[in-house]
Amino acid sequence: MSTKRLAILVGGGPAPGINGVIGSVTIAARKRGLEVVGFYDGFKWISSSSFDPAVHTVPLDISRVSRIHLEGGSILRTARDSLIKGGAIDEAKVANVRKVMESLNVGYLVTIGGDDTAFSASIVARAMEGRLFVAHVPKTIDNDLPLPGDMPTFGFQTAREVATSIVKNLMEDARTTNRWYFVVIMGRSAGHLALGTGKAAGATLTIIPEEFGDRKVRVEDVCDIIEAAMIKRKALGRDDGIAIVAEGVALKFGDVEEIERILGKSIPRDPHGHVRLAEVPLGELLKNEITRRFEERGKKITIVTKDVGYELRCAPPIPFDIEYTRDLGYGAVEYLLSGSYSEEMKRKGAMISILNGKLNPIPFDEIMDPVTGRTRVRTVDITSYAYQVARSYMIRLEREDLENPEFVASMAKAANMDVESFTKRFGHLVS
């Protein structure tokens, strides 16, 4: 048969820069004489018995992709379908993928996606037993993949810039109208996007799941943090503010059944079994509880909730992500086709990263959690200097606030409480 083809697919949620990777991979591969084919909708069709190459693939050449790096979205679309079913590998789907690769003479596969797509890519690499080499380009606005050197996942910087612009506008509206905004920002397993946005915009406070460690918390516990910050802000002379909360905080309320109990309804799951956090009205839960508390103390407060996430995912990439995705796409082809990496390494497949300005493919088995067998997740290090700086600029109740008699009295007055009741009510936040 003719020279093997290179195929590209995109899995998971959209992120700014996907088209940059598609374009970069296509151009680099075409220059090396390879045919390039794009699979529509991630693993959805190639893992199905209804796969039709005339409908579910598109040939890619340089003229088709030469300017797509400037665009948001994905010309290959994307889907969350995986090769996992009920927590185990779906061997029927894997067999379908293998059949498609062999029938189309695909010898190289570039997958673009997050941790779930990376896991499916590693399954394909093992199943093909060296007849197909796989390179995974990490993509997620959550920035939660374990890249070395604190490198971000592509799409994160663009998402943070767009989110920061939104929050800046809300901050001005809050100041102008003397109200509070509770902004819930995407981030299932990690608070990078919420924290990065809050830090860049100068939000009043940001709450991320990592600050609670491994323990479970209640809605009331999160409300305590925000309410105390609102009262402190009032004592400092301001009736307005922005509280940013990472959506993953909802998972700290307990298992899925506990969250459903709080909501009084069931929550949909995605194909990977993850709770669709967009279906959890976290902002409303916090708003309703805090509004009730203020009213009980005879205080009136205006709170507006805003979810930020979907409007970030298909934004046109900023120059950082345009350049970064070009490096990653070129690196994927270099890893697959050059003689710089051993045959054994290529058989295993790898995630593409850049370390100290150089290509740094990471074998799939090195990014997998030995306990879960799934791709490891990078969370915010709350002991880091970066978090320390972010935390120091937030308005939150601090120990020294309660050690200052005059300021405690001022906060108690702002809350319409006596000093003893205020200290008893919120003292646990600094203990």
What are the residue numbers of the active site?
142
d(CA 139, CA 126): 22
**In sequence order, which residues have a C-beta less than 8 Å from that of residue 2 and are 6 or more positions away?**
35, 105
Dig out the tokens for 48 from the structure: 């199905």
Please report which helix (H) or strand (E) contains residue 227, including its range.
helix 219-235
Round to whole Å and give the CA distance between 134 and 333: 10
Amino acid identity at 65: V
Beta strands in 163-302 (DSSP E): 180-185, 205-207, 241-246
Q: Distance between CA 110 and CA 139 in Å, rounded?
A: 12
What letter does residue 314 receive in the DSSP assignment? T
Beta bridge partners of 244: 183, 206
Nearest to 352 by CA among 113, 181, 142, 185: 113
Parallel, antiparallel or unpaired: strands 362-363 and 350-351: antiparallel
3-state percent breakdown (helix, strand, coil) of the chain, nearest 5:
50, 15, 35
- Cα distances from 328 to residues 17, 18, 20, 111, 124, in angstroms, run 11, 11, 9, 12, 20
Distances (CA, A) of 359 to 147, 173, 347: 12, 44, 18
CB-based contacts of 358, cutoff 8 Å, min separation 6: none
Cα–Cα distance, 132 to 102 (Å, whole number) = 9
Q: 192, 156 in Cβ contact below 8 A?
A: yes
What is the residue whose two structure tokens read 């579910």?
56
- The answer for residues whose C-beta is within 8 angstroms of residue 17's C-beta and 6 or more apart is 139, 154, 155, 158, 317, 321, 322, 324, 325
